[in-house]
Structure 1
Amino acid sequence: MKISIKKKRNYNLIIGLCLTGFFALMALVGQFWTPYSVTSMDPLSVNVAPCLAHPFGTDNFGRDILSRVMNGSGMTFFVAICTVLMGAVIGTVVGALTGYFGGWIDEIIMRINDILLSFPSVLLALLFISFLGPGTVNVILALGILFIPSFARIVRSEMIRCKELDFVKSAKVMGVGPFRIMFVHILPNTLVSMLTAAAIGFNNAVLAEASMSYLGLGVQPPLPSLGRMLSEAQSYLFNTPWYAIAPGVTIILIILGFSMISEGLRAVER
């Protein structure tokens, strides 16, 4: 008798990757080509409703909204990638060292982590920006610092769990150094957890970048940003609602994509 086992498809992961991939491709294309210039103004095309020439309409300066969404999405992805990479790299090193060696350094660093995690990330980012000043680089630094604790805790817990296992003890007996054990033997076991944390980090970074730009603390004009476009559109919601719809829906779908990826990765982890 032939027994067939049908694997359950991870639809969350598939849909999330498709959504994120679409907007990432749009953002990448937007850095090299857009239907119109993202900064030039056209007084004859002010507040034009969506049409064939301008599928998403134009803003109060006559700038094409589709072009600005394409280009502004690139800045959103750039900030998200930089902040998550910064948090992941530094957090991995901190978590590996504290989890493997332990001691008083571990206690001090973990208490600092707990303090950072106890505050809302956007609130702490605003605090950092108030000292550093507005700008894209400062937003990346502020958010990157805030993402370090979450990655550090994941790696630390895995180091504590694995450092007494047989394969680690065997590596020690064979004379393998502690850094090779940490980053070659133990760290690969955290891959799925790290990817899940990265997807959540991307989600939070997109939302935080949009919030910072909305408040005028992130990307500075004339460069386009999804959050900045929403801020500019709030005065025209009743007369030109398409001004806010395009960047707003784009932010929602990007966040939805990363959320579905994280849910899909959790299912894989289980």
Structure 2
Amino acid sequence: MPELSTTVKQKPLVEEQMISPWREGWKNFKKNKVALIGLFIVVFFILIAILANYIAPYGFNEQQFKDKHLPPSAKHWFGTDDFGRDIFSRVIFGARISLSVGFGSVVGSAIIGSFLGIIAGYYGKWLDAIISRIFDILLAFPSILLAIAIVAMLGQSLQNALIAIAIINVPTFGRLLRARVLSVKEEEYITAAKAIGMKDSRILLHHVLPNSLAPIIVQGSLAIATAIIEAAGLGFLGLGAQPPTPEWGKMLSDSKDFIIQAPWTVFFPGIAIMLTVLGFNLMGDGLRDALDPRMKN
């Protein structure tokens, strides 16, 4: 009976000691006010993208030629463009396009880059040499020029722009995971797993990958901001979204000739890009400070 009471008393102590690093990371993240502002901005634009059909007062391609280039007013909060389309509605629907490209391209590049980086770092030798040289070749080109070349080969479309952005970001995730795996695979628990005959696939999935998720999440949040800018750049050049898709970069391109006559046609899509990128950058910096043990005091 005394032994039972001792066990019961020790259980809460054990539970307190088993603090999840993710819970601790979230606790540290909440202390960063600037990062919370970034999270609020990101959540705000995500909700706008999800609820675009209910928020937008007009269709994104609803044209009223008699109302073209109207300044901001109670009827058209952000004014209208050269086709009489409501810019507020187009900016709202543009959030859906830009965020889809940002998230989609980063998820694709993170999966491919992480896989190649883990293989290169864990097995090394000739596999590491080949994969690392592929990364070096991709990084040798300016990212926007490489994206332009890929889209030029695949064809001008939003889907091809997404593929191009995913490809140019693969080396970033690959080299990050390779460096992480080179460190993790020298840990004692990896050596112990090999000693008891655990398969490489299980070691990678159950030990190496879980201990490498933090840098992937941090890099992913920062990469989304970069992907949105790259998608806007391709759209501005006419290589991304095609008319009448309300992509923010394409909206800037379509309005550049009216910057003096109707500056609001450029101002509001530009502000949307700036705020979204700022939100992801602030959130990414906060995640880095919260999840990276080296940043803790």
TM-score if structure 2 supplies the norm length? Answer: 0.86
Shift of 1:11: 2.1
Between the aligned partners of 2:72 and 2:162, the Cα distance in structure 1 is: 34
| Structure 1 counterpart of 2:42 | 20
Q: Which residue of 2 aligns with 1:187?
A: 209
Determine which of 85, 96, 116 is the counterpart of 2:107: 85
Instruction: Report whether the alignment pairs 1:115 with 2:137.
Output: yes
Provide the C-alpha distance between the structure 2 equivalents of 1:245 and 1:141, rounded to a whole number of angstroms: 28
Residue 119 of structure 1 deviates from its aligned partner by 2.2
Structure 2: segments with no counterpart, 5+ residues = 1-27
AA aligned to 1:264 is: G
Q: Does 1:171 align with 2:179?
A: no
- Which one of 127, 147, 154 corresponds to residue 132 of structure 1? 154
2:200 maps to amino acid: P
Farther-moved stretch of structure 1 (96-105 vs 186-195)? 186-195
Q: CA RMSD in A?
A: 1.6
Q: Which residue of 2 aligns with 1:154?
A: 176
Structure 1 residue 266, shift from structure 2 partner: 2.1
Q: Please tell me the residue identity of whatever aligns with 1:83.
A: S
The Cα offsets for residues 190-247 of structure 1, whole Å up to 9 and x where unpaired, read as 2221111101210110000000111111011111110111111111111211111110
Picking from 54, 61, 75, the partner of 1:53 is 75
Partner of 1:9: 31
Q: Which has more radius of gyration?
A: 2
2:237 to 215, 232, 235: 215
CA distance in 1, matches of 2:183, 2:250: 44
Q: Tell me by how many angstroms 1:31 deviates.
A: 4.9
* Distance in 2 of aligned mates of 1:46 and 1:173: 73
Distance 1:125 1:21 in 2: 28
Q: Which deviations, in whole Å up to 9, do the C-alpha atoms of 1:22-65 show, x marking residues without a partner?
A: 11111221256521011121122111111111111111111000
**Unaligned segments of structure 1, at least 5 residues:** 1-6
The answer on whether the counterparts of 1:82 and 1:140 sit within 8 Å (CA) in structure 2 is yes
Q: Which amino acid letter does the alignment assign opposite residue 163 of structure 2? A: L
Aligned to 1:252: 274
Instruction: Show the counterpart of 2:58.
Output: 36
TM-score (structure 1 length as normaliser): 0.94
Does residue 82 of structure 2 align to residue 64 of structure 1?
Answer: no
Instruction: Give me the whole-angstrom Cα distance separating, in 2, the residues matched to 1:30 and 1:220.
Output: 20
Q: Distance in 1 between matches of 2:167 and 2:33?
A: 33
Q: How much has 1:128 moved relative to structure 2?
A: 0.8
User: Does the 8 Å contact 1:168/1:181 carry over to 2?
Assistant: yes
Letter of the structure 2 residue corresponding to residue 21 of structure 1: V
| 1:164 Cα offset (Å) | 2.1
* Counterpart contact for 1:12–1:263, Cα < 8 Å: no
Tell me the alpha carbon deviations over residues 62-89 of structure 1, each in whole angstroms, 9 at most, x when there is no partner.
Answer: 1000100011111101111111011011
Q: Residue type matched to 1:85 in 2? A: V
Between the two proteins, the alignment pairs up a number of residues equal to 265
Structure 2 Cα separation of the partners of residues 11 and 105 of structure 1: 43
